[in-house]
Structure 1
């Protein structure tokens, strides 16, 4: 029998939904709650590398992800000049294995929908607009009261509730989440025919200007700038800022700018980061995903790390008979150093850009590929 029979997952994002799928399809009763009122996701688009696709394959949704998204196998580097000159075309490492695409770009809401629909199809119960009010744990389980007045008792609570995790705070864990000094503008819209992969522009008024195809008819573009307080800008003002930044980049950006006319499709956030020291559990409550480790998207590994957390945690819970320190030690050994390396490397790449330093990016990318090509 699995080490657990009833699990509460707090948070219906990538980490939480994947955990629910893995556990429910192995006969575990899973309740998922989320403070949001529906399956939504901010940020417009997402870049999913091979190690994320490997987990989607294990979840049984890889075909849906590929159908909803846009697979590709290379990366372009372009100059911030008047022509957007293509400097190099680089094959992406197939970190999920030779039979999977190197990368799939997709819209975040599509990824959220696919994961939640899969969780419900294998028996997980998902409740939106619901939060935990309190939880109290003992040696054998966790008693939870919910914001709607209901209660439940679980063998385990999984805190997958994001970078500002309620679960983490309720456990009394103090963790410094810091901004890295960068902010990112994201916008999504129709895909020009010329955009068939991610291209990156370094230099100009932005640290990075890039874009990613997310479907046959969609793409998202992004511009990374020094972290700036943009909270006072009205939507139309935000649109003007991103238009002005984008005007310095050419090539496919000239086509992208034509579609920059809908302020509701613009999103601006700061890069933030933290890593919780091991262990990530306190008794029968465990933190995964951004609740435990958050990295800026400079290496496009945030969702992949969250999905890997879910895969490893569920594997251990369903292949072990006891929820004991041995299980938690194995979870720590398989997740902590790997996730921390990715966070540190993501921050290092950003810091090189902030400092104007020519860091050894090829070596860092090679190390990343070697690390994540091995299953978690």
Structure 2
């Protein structure tokens, strides 16, 4: 018998929806509370490596993802003028029968996971969040923003890097800026874009792009974090356009698209790592609520998906959601998440410090080797 009969998952992002699928299809009554008013996901593109695809296959959605994504098996390194310097094979971390990496539209991934969660029987409730949590030992009493209250065997905070659940259970870890900021645009894909290509140099720390579908891609420029972030839509487009003038090749093809866009996005790189344990009583954190990293390794969503897979496996195999269960969950996840967070931050810091002899390929290879192993 599973350790829980009902569960509340706070947050309908990648981690929360994945966990909802895994628990609900095994008969757990799952409710998902999402503060956003509907299922429409924000964001542009997302990069998913093999270890993320491995979890998506376990969720039963890989075939649908495969039809929507753009797969590739190598990483290109280019000079600011667009010349190719190196083509590095990507490790197939999910196994030989899955691509090394895919890019896809983030809202499409969200839509696929939303449909899967509903099909599994999860109750997705939008425009709703948690106001108070009261752990009673045998259950958690949850007071919700619509004025209702209910008891749950398990509460999961999957509500992101600024998790309100994390604060409610007394964990005061906060995200820390890494000193970098990223400009992103989702735009048309030139035919020459067949994978992620990166430029280290020019006016930015990193200039890159990733195909997300037959006709789409996202492009990004990473510079030192700005404190004057109150940009208008026009100012965002103008600034990204000016930064892009330091790059040739594909950037020459998309520059006009950047200038005409009203959807240029700017955010800081941040990191977060909650030390053990990731729970207080029967409330536990997963995904960005427990660990978050700058996208230098493209592992944020993948690590959240792994959290969901491991937690579901352990909860479904246990008799009681007690502290030994949560300790064992943290044991399986913390060291792996720590390596990803610290390595992602290290890659960013090397850029900030201008370290010229940094072994970037070596660090990426070391992390890839670890992530090829099952979580």
- Bin for the TM-score computed over the shorter chain: over 0.9
Partner residue in 1 for 2:233? 235
Paired with 2:256 and 2:230, the residues of 1 have a C-alpha distance of 25
Does the 8 Å contact 2:194/2:211 carry over to 1? yes
Does 1:34 pair with 2:51?
no
Determine which of 206, 214, 217 is the counterpart of 1:219: 217
8 Å Cα contact 2:182/2:267 also seen in 1? yes
| Conserved 8 A contact 1:143-1:153 | yes
For 1:229 and 1:264, the matched residues in 2 are separated by 21
State the number of aligned residues.
374
TM-score (norm 2): 0.98
The residue that corresponds to 2:157 in the other structure is 159
Could you list the structure 1 runs, at least 4 aligned residues long, displaced by more than 3 angstroms after superposition. 40-43
Q: Tell me by how many angstroms 1:145 deviates.
A: 1.4
Post-superposition Cα deviations, 1:136-172, rounded to whole Å, max 9, x if no partner, equal 1111001111111122110010000011101011112
User: Deviation per CA, 1:95-139, whole angstroms, max 9, x where unpaired?
Assistant: 000000000101111111111111001100001110111121111
Matched, 1:309 2:307: yes
Q: 1:296 aligns with which of 290, 294, 297?
A: 294
Distance of 2:38 and 2:203 partners within structure 1: 37
Q: Secondary structure at the match of 2:18?
A: helix
Looking at structure 1, the residues matched to 67 and 256 of structure 2 have their Cα atoms a distance apart, in angstroms, of 27
Change (3 A) 1:262 1:156: farther
Aligned to 1:24: 24
Aligned to 2:318: 320
Is the CA contact (8 Å cut-off) linking 1:43 and 1:186 kept in structure 2?
A: no
Instruction: Report the counterpart of residue 370 of structure 2 in structure 1.
Output: 371
Task: Report how far residue 261 of structure 1 moved.
Answer: 4.0
Aligned-partner SS, 2:296: helix
Question: 2:170, 2:40 → 1: CA distance?
Answer: 28
Tell me the residue number matched to 1:272: 270
Contact 1:213–1:220 at 8 Å: present in 2 too?
yes
Q: Whole-Å Cα distance in 2 between the matches of residues 325 and 145 of structure 1?
A: 23
Paired residues of 2:16 and 2:158 also in contact (CA < 8 A)? yes
Q: Which residue of 2 aligns with 1:362?
A: 361
Q: Structure 1 residue 230: deviation in Å?
A: 4.1
Contact 1:69 1:214 in 2 (8 A): yes
- Across the aligned residues of Structure 1 and Structure 2, the Cα RMSD in angstroms comes to 1.0
SS across alignment from 2:193: coil
CA contact (8 A) 2:140 2:153 kept: yes
Distance 2:226 2:35 in 1: 28
Scaled by the length of structure 1, the TM-score of the pair is: 0.98
Q: 1:123 aligns with which of 121, 129, 146?
A: 121
Q: Could you say which residue in structure 1 is the equivalent of 2:346?
A: 348
